[in-house]
Chains A and B, each alone.
Chain A
Amino acid sequence: MSTIEEVVQKAVKKQGKDPTGMLEIIRDVQAELGHVPDKAKSLIAAGMGLSKADLDGIVSFYHFFSEKPVGKYAVYLNNSAVAVMKGREAVARAFEQEAGCKFGQTTPDGIIGLHDTSDIGMNDQEPAAIINGVVFTGLTPEKVKDIVSQMRSGKDVTEMVKEYGDGLNGSEIVRSMVKNNIRKKGAVIFAPFEQGSAVKKAVRMTPADVIEEVKKSNLRGRGGAGFPTGMKWEFTRNNSKGKKAFVVCNADEGEPGTFKDRVILTELPRMLFEGMSVAGYAIGADRGILYLRAEYEYLLKYLQSVLDAMRKGNLLGRNVAGKKEFNFDIEIKLGAGAYICGEETALLESAEGKRGEPRNRPPFPAQYGYQGGPTSVNNVETLCAAARVMILGGEEFAKMGTFQSHGTKLLSVSGDCQKPGIYEVEFGISLQSLLDEAGGSDAMAVQVGGPSGKCVPAGEFGKKISFEELPTGGSMIVIAPGRDLLTIVHNFMDFFVEESCGWCTPCRAGNVILRERLEKIMARKGTESDLAELAQWCAVVKTMSRCGLGQTSPNPIATTIENFRSVYESRLQKGVGFVSEFDKDKAVEEYCRIAGRTPYTEGR
């Protein structure tokens, strides 16, 4: 076995001391040693010209890096709300029982480690876990028994996957059990796509005309915020003269309940990469970066092979598609487990090999992005749609959809419905008709846009899915009558507490306060004033937080107070001014035990 020095030296050398390769270095060390011990951090710091504190900061920031050994088999079991709906707790107990250790621990022999993890993009096939990078879906206690016994026998994780998913999931290079679950194909993303058609059309136009065409299409960002894509490209292009510009594709879909990019990356990476080339041509960039969330690492080799094939086919590299002096290539950067890295400036920081903390804006990425260069950061689906705009033409594309929302939207439907999966729908479809198609007609509520979105009650199911009425990045979590909404909301708050980057207090402390207040009400110790205060705290966190995470994290509470107030009110203590959760006997119990005191309760 190699020493820590050798492992670190090899990892640092591989990146050629490039600071943007920091996450790769740590990933290599983690893979080799099973953790990133203090000594390794000091050595990496020395090798990269950073301080040990920098390394402490980076390693502790990302969920998939660990200072403690994570186990030879590191099980990361998703704990999202839908996973819980689908029986996650029984699966977790089975893991604990079979492995002989609790979650958050590693077995004494170091073979198996059990860890919770935030949504892994498999909501349509929960409960799911990632074990040493390999995804296991549709887990049951019986399957867990089998998996653990195979781990005990020392089997390679990839060999534990017996059945493969549909489409390219089953291909030689992916070999994953993940299913696509494509339920409905539309005219933009899942319409037939001929390799090379988008970029070839683009390079016959001037970059300015390409931007004009995208503007004509009225394409808006599909990640959720809905910024006009043509305008973003134009801003970036206007800043790119004499500078090194970048196209960055945000494939860090971390919003619980969304998994559309997973399917695009599996089935349509060529369309995506062409979309990136079109963007590169339009803004004057010669480098593209695909920032892939660590949870989708199982697609990495496959995506790299697609890039290789495109290079061979002259769709990437020098003089792309025969266009003289248009050189464009794409590299893939892997995240390491952090929801916040879906925020574009945090993503850029992370891609540069640092902690994924959001930057102050302005300057916007279009002015000062990756390594300071003008950068257009676009969602996976947006870039695919841009490729389609090239093929169809902007006007044709703009014919689809509603007044302010053009084209189609990929929706990731999960939760209490018969047919979870991907639906490509034209903007303007009502929520009710989506539910009818997905077999969730009798839903009590739908969480539209994931936890950071909105909890929509049945009375509003007639609303249209569009930027103007019901905006969504794609996550649609169907909630059936009989579910306890507050349990789901509490799961969402756990998520935000876990994923807050900690930079600003309103988000770091505010989300904890929100969760505590919610727990007080759930424990039936809340009063009318607690509920009023809860709503006030929502406003504080929303308005005072620095980035989108804290600005939206109160939404699960705020929108359920608005739309399902009775769920809260039924648990309040009425006619009481204040109820304390404080238990004095319990609070002094530990001290009394240690000091050998007999607790007294009466007056001093």
Chain B
Amino acid sequence: MGKPVVATVSMAGCFGCHMSLLDIDDKILQLIDLVEFNKSPIDDIKKFTKQCDIGFIEGGCCNSENVENLMNFRKNCKILISVGECAIMGGLPSLRNGIPVKECLEEAYLNCLTVDDKIIPNDEELPMITDKVYPCHEIVKIDYFLPGCPPRAELIWEALSALITGKKLELPYEVFKYD
């Protein structure tokens, strides 16, 4: 069997979970030995070139592009992991969920003090905004959830290596205790 193939994506998130992934420091070299990266901002591969084993999802879905991206990941990855608060619960972006889309757009593009051209962008190239920010598991089947904002580097490392090696993941209380 070849190396497991990992793909990653950051959707409605802040890239913090990817930063946390990079935060495993020199273990990144071990990781590279263990896995092969496919579609991911880390290696800048833009499209899936093969079937992957693990999809690492950061961020929830706030627009049509996120939704398609997520569905594409589901199609191309055997296992999907929701990584971090935004993917799991919607996170900060979902603070807009209590506000109608119309109000959000008007505030951002019409009423905001620093706006010059008062128009709501409608270019066909732009993704379409969804009525609210969705956690990933409401759209596709998610296999695992790694909590945290961001999840600690060790947790990401432990989780990925457990998945790859098939060893049981040790989850001491301190790792997911946040208060």
Contacts and interface: CB of A to CB of B under 8 A. Distances in A.
Contact of A587 (B100, B105, B130): B130
Contacts of A587: 67, 130-132, 134
A604 B65 contact: yes
Given A596-B122, A597-B124, A591 B101 contact: yes
Contact of A578 (B63, B64, B120, B140): B140
Nearest to B72: A603
Contact of B129 (A577, A580, A588, A596): A588
Contacts of B68: 603-604
B139 interface: yes
Contact of B131 (A580, A589, A599, A603): A589
Contact of B140 (A580, A595, A597, A600): A580
Contacts of A589: 131
Nearest to A603: B68
Given A591-B128, A595-B120, A582 B139 contact: yes
Nearest to B125: A604
A325 interface: no
A584 B67 contact: yes
Contacts of B129: 588, 591
A597 B129 CA distance: 11
A594 B105 contact: yes
A599 B128 contact: yes
Contacts of A163: none
Contacts of B134: 582, 587
Contact of A581 (B121, B128, B138): B138
B139 A588 contact: no
A396 interface: no
A596 B123 CA distance: 10
B126 to A, nearest CB: 8
26 contacts: A577-B141, A578-B140, A580-B138, A580-B139, A580-B140, A582-B67, A582-B134, A587-B67, A587-B131, A587-B134, A588-B130, A590-B101, A590-B102, A591-B101, A591-B129, A591-B130, A591-B131, A594-B101, A594-B120, A596-B120, A596-B122, A597-B124, A597-B128, A604-B64, A604-B65, A604-B68
Chain A to chain B: the 10 pairs with minimum beta-carbon distance, closest first: A578-B141, A588-B128, A591-B129, A595-B122, A587-B130, A582-B139, A590-B101, A595-B120, A587-B131, A596-B122
Given A580-B138, A595-B121, 14 more contacts: A578-B140, A587-B134, A588-B63, A588-B128, A588-B131, A591-B101, A591-B128, A591-B130, A591-B131, A595-B120, A596-B120, A597-B124, A603-B68, A604-B64
Interface of B: 63-65, 67-68, 100-102, 105, 120-122, 124, 127-132, 134, 138-141
